[in-house]
Structure 1
Amino acid sequence: MRLIKFPVFALILSMLAVSLSFAQVVPPSSVEQIENSVQQRAELRANSIFNDYPMRSVGPVVMSGRVTDIAVHPENSRVFYIGFGSGGVFKTTNSGNTFTPIFDHQDGALGVGDMDISSANPDILWIGTGENNSSRSTYAGTGIYKSSDGGETWEFSGLRGSQHIGKIISHPTDENTVWVASMGALYSSNPDRGVFKSTDGGETWNRTLFINDSTGVIDLIIHPTNPDILWATSWERDRKAWNFKEGGIASGLYKSTDGGESWNQITEGLPAGEHVGRMGIDISQSNPDILYAFLDNQFETKTERDASQGLNQTDFLDMSKRNFLRLDDKDLNQYLRSNRFPSEYTAASVKADIEMDKYQPRALADYLGDANAALFNTSIKGLEIYRSEDGGNSWELANSYPLNGVVFTYGYYFGEVRVDPNDPETIYTFGVPFLKSTDGGKTWEQKARNQSVHVDHHALWINPDDSEHILLGNDGGLYESHDGGENFIHHNTIAVGQFYTVNVDMEEPYNIYGGLQDNGTFKGPSTSTGNRARPWTRIGGGDGMHVAPNPENPDIVYVGFQYGNYTRRDLENNENMRITPIHKLGEPRYRYNWNTPVNMSWHNPDIIYFGSQRLNRSFNEGKDWQTISPDLTHDLPNGNVPYSTLTTIAESPLSFDVIWAGSDDGMIHVTTDGGASWNRVSDDLPQRRWISEVHASGYDEATAYVSLNGYRWDEFDTYLYKTTDYGQSWTSVKGNLPNEVANVIIQDPVNPSILYAGLDFGSYVSFDDGKEWHYLTNMPNVASYDMIVHPRDLELVVATHGRSIWVMDVKPLHVVAERLDESITAIKPESIRQSRFWGMQTAQWRERSMPNVELIYFLGNKRSDQDVSIVVRDENGDEVSSIETSGNYGFNTYNWNLVKAETEDGFTFLEKGKYTLEFKTGRNTHEVPFEIR
């Protein structure tokens, strides 16, 4: 443990140690480690005590989630598959009226890079795992998977280390030949990149194109009539937590004329150099000599400055004091107001400060270091469309004017161009908007502009039999048009929301709140069902982040979007107040994480905590702020991504004086005096890992749990720790967990030994404070980002990044936790109200109305298929009914219809009254009461 206030010599030594530490690199996980994790996770799933434990999806579906690919059956367009960035694969056989998940629990990888249906045998579906968009939540995959029965069953087909698949192309007439474009790891270099070819149906693979260990292949197309001719686009990119270099000299275009056995680079007419970014490619099916390429051109563009527009941010970078004081007050005031400087700053006040050397003119430029604005304020060329008319041997720029406002600074997130299969002059491309050209890319028109079609587009299918019929996938899900993109319908029936956070209120029933990737912030009742859109309402925009409802007044909610942009919302009166803390002119600007932590005090809902690199606190709902800490990060140099920022804040529920804070560069601090002094307590933990969660115990103010995250190093180890002495020492609570990135850990509010953990491939429960963990198998194996247990209803609410919100009743866990060594433990079922409609069939075409009582029991013997009897006794102790069933080690569920006996004309049900249910296995019994009201 180390105090923040160092003597000077100690401070120098500390800074030197930090510098040396950060010169080291966290090694990425190896293919062998990934394989071991896959096997261990499969064992935990097979042996989980929760295999028959009920969980429910509560949606929402109104916004859907990020689509990465669409694969349509070549002979039946009513059958198609949708791949999601982190939500798996769904299949429809009725043109999108209903969808079924078909890829859950396949080695733990639900992120989809690409899919392909074999034209030679449409029952064969290939899936490449690991999203290819290189975004902040682009999850690594576990290789290639193959189904030979339309997605009913799956087999692993290799390339475990590929991590992110750009494209899969299967041979049009040979079902055993397939090519794969692999991007490789996102945050590190690795050799599993390039183009791979299999000629034995995925049994073995041969790498036929390799550029280097930091350059992958992002796109791949095949000639429509000559399968020996293929084109591939390479992409060199270097992503780190603090910087993203989106292009490189190794990015380019390659062509093969021998079935992908060898490749030649094509350069004529295409940009070259260190700023060539992501490139996508497509070929005309009706005229294969014509090809188009999407190119993210990161080279700087020179634009003439219009002096009549007034002062610009860059004007102040090198401005002298003398020239600043000569500025016209009107021009300076216009600059201050148009850039939303606080009202305290006027031309007169700022000039007075400059005159007194309180700060330099450059401070007026540095003040505007808004990371969110930087995403859109661009001086690069951005999207360019190139065209070839000679089979891809030479290229020319197609667009006759700059395509500004399409991909901005983040072309890495898009990269697609599509040619109408029946018209080589009609093409589509997309970024934030969806664009169409009918003159070969010279001019463009935005489609779906005045409709409720989401932005940020990633996938497009054009019906070869009807060019007016298209399927469009974006961050808002799947859309369908039958008039060439003029009008769309939204297939929003799939709960695939990518949640970052979750919270709850104390209403009846309680509401769930959460922030989603590119879909804002939503609020909905905990009783909603996963396929119903209407109960959920949108209460915030952008990329929704932390959300905090006031427990005393749920109409007051704090919502925000990326990089610290937060608002206090009065939902009843539709009033908003921006609450983001703003630094003073001349002071170091606040650095805000993409997912800036904002917490409400346990002790007073008017008190709000807000994390930058420092901790800020407000006593009046965000109107005014106090900075109550020094910089709680390593304060490392930033690239083009904010870094050395706080990522998690935890105030002790037991003491207002105890506050924890964790940062993205691996530091944890704690104060025990309300922020007057801070102790750094992370020195003995693994260094440089993102602190994804600090959870302050509700039982002991010195106790906390933390999760550390190596995702941004491509390191997939599990880091979960506990302290009981304010961080002076730490104990691992990883237990038997497989190595996968940890996002959150929380403690149960009733039993301190019960813990819940959210990892990148699912959620886990421990009954013994982290010694042994059990996999929650009745929810998808998707990244669990955030968790909370409702303090009144005792339900675990899990925010997943890919499959929306899942809820689980944890009251049975409290019962079982006290009886883990018993052979059988029964859970008291909820009472039920008797109905005169039980057993009735109101029409011949309707099913009978039958009651259902969910009986949950736990078998403590580690065996499968154990005989279980359930005897129903009335208030006199007489047996009135019995059930014979069987169960396995762990939780078991039996759906009981309350039938006492069957008669010729129907059923006889149990009458109103109080009963005892006697559960028995072997010689062991456990009784619980039950009532029919």
Structure 2
Amino acid sequence: MEKRWFVTMGVVLLSMAALLALMGLVEGLAMTITYPVLAAPPEVVTPTVTGVDPDSGPNDIDTSIIIAGTNFTAELSGTLVITAPTAYLGDTALEDVVWVSSTTLSATVQWGLDPGVYTLTVVNPDGGTGSLADAFTVTQGIGVWTTGGPYGGRAQFVILHPEDSATVYAASQWAGLFVSEDAGGNWQPILADDWPTRLVFDAESSNVMYYSGDSASFHRTDDGGQTWGLLPELFHAQDGCFTVYAAAHPTDAGVIYAGTGSCAGIPVLPGEGGVFYSQDYGANWVTRTQGLTDTDLVDIIFHPTNPLTMVVATRGGSIFLTTDGGLNWDLQSTIPDDLRRIYINPYGANEAWALPEIGYQPPVRPYLYKSADLITWEVITLTDDLLPSGGIWSLTFAPGEIWAAGGWGYFSDDGGASWSGVITISQQVGGVRSFAIDPSDSNVIYAADSDRGVLKSSDGGTTWREINEGLAALTTRDVAAAPGQPDQVYVETYEYGLLRSASGGYAWQELGVRKGGPPKGKIVATDPFIPTRVYYPVGCSGDGPCIWYSTDEGSSWHEVTMTIPATYTGWTGELTAIAAHPLVSGTLLAGAGFYQERSDFDEGIEPCGIYRSDDHGATWQFLGPTAPISEVLDIAFDAVDPDLIYAATNGGGLWRSTDGGANWMRVPISNTLSPVVVEAVVTHLDVPGKVYVRTYSYAESPNPEPELWVSEDAGDTWQQLTYVFLGVDLLISPPVPGYPPYTLYTGCETGLCRSTDDGQTWEPVGGAPRPEILAAASDGERTVIYLGSPGGLVTSIEQQSALSLNTIPGRDSVLGSGVYRLAMRLPNHWVYLPLVLRGYIP
């Protein structure tokens, strides 16, 4: 044993000696090796950054930018870029940096950065670095309401400021009054209203304006629209509504007349309507109806040469004249038509023109009435073309010229003997409602259009372009967000049809499909499994209900016609609502109405049923029910049970299926009496059988107040939740299961309200206008709520309490119609921490 130990130690010592000798040999050799001279390292190319476009963006969405500069380099293999430069905002690396050329890079500023002004730095692959200070501004988008329109919509009239022709006013049905102070370059809403009729200016101060509409919308501003005051009610209409047509005295300050008449088909009763007069800016009023045998007025005007001479027109066609400022009126004639407007040409012979009230259908040749004495009238036909847009809406006069608004617009330079079209048929317009001509440059003309907002011509009407930036006046009828892609959103509008935004509503694209007719239920659906698929019911060539679907986000469409059930053979069918199943891929349900007379469908009284598709909308099967139900407005699916489905109807209450739609039964909602309108139904995202509904019971009142209900057992029993006024939709957010706590959103008296305790209590959401439609989507890091709104007044409670009685905020407190967006981080993503692997930290 001892001998073996000595042998082992000897081997170890010899090995160590050999190793030391080898190391010495290597070291000696190293002393004698001569190294070749190394090549000089390549010169570092230093880039410069000269600009960024755009140079700002909100932090609730990714923003694509273009970086301009010089000496941007990339490692290439042929034409293939192996390594592109990197770019940073502050110390945050930008995403998707692409080398375009030595002077151009593209990149993405990712959402979630803190608001502020950032330096942008570019680093070439060789390490060369260049920066531009204050290059990009990140604005606050998370947690605040933002909007990018869409812009345009239904403009009723356009008027120029009497002292500054670069200040332009446009009034829109449902959205109110807008102003542009840069000749239509940008618009801002200054007064929310539903039905504008006139905007007139005081004779002495143009800061004093009167805005008239229906009986609840007669306003005056003394500060150019910063604030507005509601004028006293002229009279109390027994049936609740009348229309006001304001006319400011052309020479006397503070003198204002108001013609009044029927409203929304509600006639004025004996003793109501007529002419009202005020000489103290509308604070006090007296009637001036002596001699008016018809008090249902539609217009009141001054003679251009003598303001004591005035003319009124009535809906029934009567023309009255006064020569003493309205103290006494005399009937001059009765035109055999209902009337819309009356004018006296301020130029030439001061002839009178009367505009007949013409319906949208059937199409007719547009015509006017012309008179030299208000007694005899000549019919003037403008064109032999048949127009479906309601004839002529207004006239605008210039020396030797008459511009008639209606259809594509008409122009006459010979006193109305002949007319020519103004806007070419190739220009997409819905129907011109008014013209305004710049008095300082007659080549500049504005047109208000019933679909396309405001158009402008700078060459005397030869060419036209839309000028709608900020003119948020579209009628939004549905909003749908793509599940998992919260920046992909669709909006359905009456004027433009379906639009899509890939930027969270900051920019919009028309998709070229449009569903006419009155608004129905939720008619736009996105596929929860294939985000590029979208469904939209547009009219087809056949009589059956029709759905269009797109597999490429609306770029192209496929038409599918459903078979009408035998019960309705020979009838016409049309969809009223559609929804995609969130648990079963490819399954959709749709509500459809059937009618013989189109008016039944327009009024919502047609019989309805439900269809189902299990192949992404390629084919459809009619499910029933056996007995027809009321119009389907909304469809909701249980969060856990794929066969449990709810249908909200327009008068028939709530319906439920427990077998995937094969059979349906009506679900009584506590003691609510029929007919019951269920405008919205939504299911809880985590709790099976839990469902919320908003209801109106028309058995209680012709104008019922809404009620909010919740059921924990699929509708077998119900609990009424806290009363919330003016609700028109209902939403749970975040819209993904497994992310409690959840928040309920719905419309309320102040605009939008939310509840964080399952509807027991509610609080207003600041900065949001009144909603018509609510939608939401989430990508697992943030939730985005979309709100489709007709616009309106938005002020804080503190602002409202500081205002005097009947004072209404104007600029900066009014939002236009359109789609509003609110982005919020999900609870487990409160801090944005991008994972970045990089070799440089500026």
User: TM-score when scaled to structure 2?
Assistant: 0.67
- Superposed, which structure 2 residues align to 1:160-239 within 5 Å? 165=243, 167-182=245-260, 185-186=263-264, 195-208=275-288, 217-235=297-315
Q: What residue number does 1:743 align with?
A: 728
Q: Secondary structure at the match of 1:78?
A: coil
Letter in 2 for 1:393: I
The answer on whether the counterparts of 1:747 and 1:755 sit within 8 Å (CA) in structure 2 is yes
Q: Secondary structure at the match of 2:511?
A: strand
2:650 to 654, 658, 664: 664
The worse-fitting range, judged by mean Cα deviation, of 490-499 and 470-479 is 490-499
Letter in 2 for 1:64: G
Partners of 2:290 and 2:682 in 1: how far apart? 45
Deviation track 1:434-477 (CA, whole Å, cap 9, x = no partner) reads: 33344444544332225544323323223345444321112211
The answer on whether the counterparts of 1:765 and 1:773 sit within 8 Å (CA) in structure 2 is yes
Q: Tell me, yes or no, if structure 1 residue 282 matches structure 2 residue 343.
A: yes
Q: Tell me, yes or no, if structure 1 residue 630 matches structure 2 residue 625.
A: yes
Q: Secondary structure at the match of 1:510?
A: strand
Q: What residue number does 2:212 align with?
A: 128
Partners of 1:486 and 1:760 in 2: how far apart? 47
Q: What residue number does 1:330 align with?
A: none
Q: What residue number does 2:445 align with?
A: 470
The answer on whether the counterparts of 1:656 and 1:674 sit within 8 Å (CA) in structure 2 is yes
Q: Tell me, yes or no, if structure 1 residue 514 matches structure 2 residue 514.
A: no
Q: Tell me, yes or no, if structure 1 residue 649 matches structure 2 residue 635.
A: yes
Q: What residue number does 2:201 align with?
A: 117
Letter in 2 for 1:659: I
Partners of 1:100 and 1:766 in 2: how far apart? 31
> CA, structure 1 residues 149+297, in 2 after alignment: closer, same or farther (shift >3 Å)?
closer
> CA, structure 1 residues 508+427, in 2 after alignment: closer, same or farther (shift >3 Å)?
closer
Q: Secondary structure at the match of 1:94?
A: coil
Q: Tell me, yes or no, if structure 1 residue 795 matches structure 2 residue 795.
A: no
Give unmatched runs, 5+ long, in structure 1.
1-51, 131-140, 236-249, 299-374, 635-643, 816-826, 835-911, 913-932
- Superposed, which structure 2 residues align to 1:554-593 within 5 Å? 554-561=531-538, 566-571=547-552, 575-583=556-564, 587=568
- Superposed, which structure 2 residues align to 1:202-351 within 5 Å? 202-208=282-288, 217-235=297-315, 250=316, 252-261=318-327, 263-265=329-331, 267-268=333-334, 270-272=335-337, 276=338, 279-287=340-348, 289-297=350-358
Partners of 1:685 and 1:654 in 2: how far apart? 28
The answer on whether the counterparts of 1:759 and 1:784 sit within 8 Å (CA) in structure 2 is no
Deviation at 1:693, TM superposition (A): 1.9
Q: What residue number does 1:706 align with?
A: 693
Deviation track 1:228-275 (CA, whole Å, cap 9, x = no partner) reads: 33333444xxxxxxxxxxxxxx4654444443455555544x225xxx
Deviation at 1:578, TM superposition (A): 1.7
Partners of 2:539 and 2:258 in 1: how far apart? 34
Q: What residue number does 2:513 align with?
A: 540
The answer on whether the counterparts of 1:632 and 1:646 sit within 8 Å (CA) in structure 2 is no
Partners of 2:547 and 2:493 in 1: how far apart? 14
Give unmatched runs, 5+ long, in structure 2.
1-140, 593-607, 792-816
Letter in 1 for 2:422: K
The answer on whether the counterparts of 2:261 and 2:298 sit within 8 Å (CA) in structure 1 is yes
Partners of 2:583 and 2:170 in 1: how far apart? 46
> CA, structure 1 residues 210+142, in 2 after alignment: closer, same or farther (shift >3 Å)?
farther
The answer on whether the counterparts of 1:420 and 1:467 sit within 8 Å (CA) in structure 2 is no
Letter in 2 for 1:445: S
Q: What residue number does 2:94 align with?
A: none
> CA, structure 1 residues 487+587, in 2 after alignment: closer, same or farther (shift >3 Å)?
same
Deviation at 1:552, TM superposition (A): 3.3
Letter in 2 for 1:259: G
1:499 to 465, 471, 476: 476
The worse-fitting range, judged by mean Cα deviation, of 118-127 and 717-726 is 717-726
Q: What residue number does 1:56 align with?
A: 145
Q: What residue number does 2:580 align with?
A: 600
> CA, structure 1 residues 717+163, in 2 after alignment: closer, same or farther (shift >3 Å)?
farther
The answer on whether the counterparts of 1:592 and 1:646 sit within 8 Å (CA) in structure 2 is no
Q: Secondary structure at the match of 2:640?
A: coil
Partners of 2:365 and 2:653 in 1: how far apart? 36
Deviation track 1:390-413 (CA, whole Å, cap 9, x = no partner) reads: 1x3332211176551242xxx3xx
Structure with greater strand percent: 2
Deviation at 1:542, TM superposition (A): 4.7
Deviation at 1:831, TM superposition (A): 5.1
Letter in 2 for 1:778: G
User: TM-score when scaled to structure 1?
Assistant: 0.61
The answer on whether the counterparts of 1:522 and 1:537 sit within 8 Å (CA) in structure 2 is yes
Letter in 2 for 1:385: L
The answer on whether the counterparts of 1:524 and 1:537 sit within 8 Å (CA) in structure 2 is no
> CA, structure 1 residues 686+590, in 2 after alignment: closer, same or farther (shift >3 Å)?
farther
Q: What residue number does 2:820 align with?
A: 806
Letter in 1 for 2:757: D
Letter in 1 for 2:534: V
> CA, structure 1 residues 396+123, in 2 after alignment: closer, same or farther (shift >3 Å)?
same
Letter in 1 for 2:513: G
Q: What residue number does 1:483 align with?
A: 459
Q: Secondary structure at the match of 1:420?
A: strand
> CA, structure 1 residues 551+723, in 2 after alignment: closer, same or farther (shift >3 Å)?
closer
The answer on whether the counterparts of 1:143 and 1:158 sit within 8 Å (CA) in structure 2 is no
> CA, structure 1 residues 296+112, in 2 after alignment: closer, same or farther (shift >3 Å)?
closer
Partners of 1:74 and 1:168 in 2: how far apart? 17
Q: Secondary structure at the match of 2:625?
A: coil
> CA, structure 1 residues 400+473, in 2 after alignment: closer, same or farther (shift >3 Å)?
closer
> CA, structure 1 residues 419+528, in 2 after alignment: closer, same or farther (shift >3 Å)?
closer
Q: What residue number does 2:176 align with?
A: 88
> CA, structure 1 residues 670+572, in 2 after alignment: closer, same or farther (shift >3 Å)?
closer
Letter in 1 for 2:470: I
Q: Tell me, yes or no, if structure 1 residue 393 matches structure 2 residue 336.
A: no
> CA, structure 1 residues 557+677, in 2 after alignment: closer, same or farther (shift >3 Å)?
closer
> Identity across aligned pairs (percent)?
20
The worse-fitting range, judged by mean Cα deviation, of 792-801 and 452-461 is 452-461
2:664 to 678, 685, 689: 678
Structure possessing the higher relative contact order (Cα contacts under 8 Å, 6 or more residues apart):
1
Letter in 1 for 2:731: I
The answer on whether the counterparts of 2:527 and 2:533 sit within 8 Å (CA) in structure 1 is yes
Partners of 2:377 and 2:622 in 1: how far apart? 56
Deviation track 1:262-310 (CA, whole Å, cap 9, x = no partner) reads: 5555544x225xxx4x523332111464122221346xxxxxxxxxxxx
The answer on whether the counterparts of 1:761 and 1:784 sit within 8 Å (CA) in structure 2 is no
Letter in 1 for 2:784: E
Letter in 2 for 1:480: K
Q: What residue number does 2:85 align with?
A: none
Letter in 2 for 1:157: L
Q: Secondary structure at the match of 1:755?
A: strand
Q: Secondary structure at the match of 2:489?
A: strand
> CA, structure 1 residues 508+663, in 2 after alignment: closer, same or farther (shift >3 Å)?
closer
- Superposed, which structure 2 residues align to 1:717-736 within 5 Å? 717-735=705-723
Partners of 1:686 and 1:665 in 2: how far apart? 10
Size of the alignment, in residue pairs?
A: 636
Partners of 2:456 and 2:413 in 1: how far apart? 20
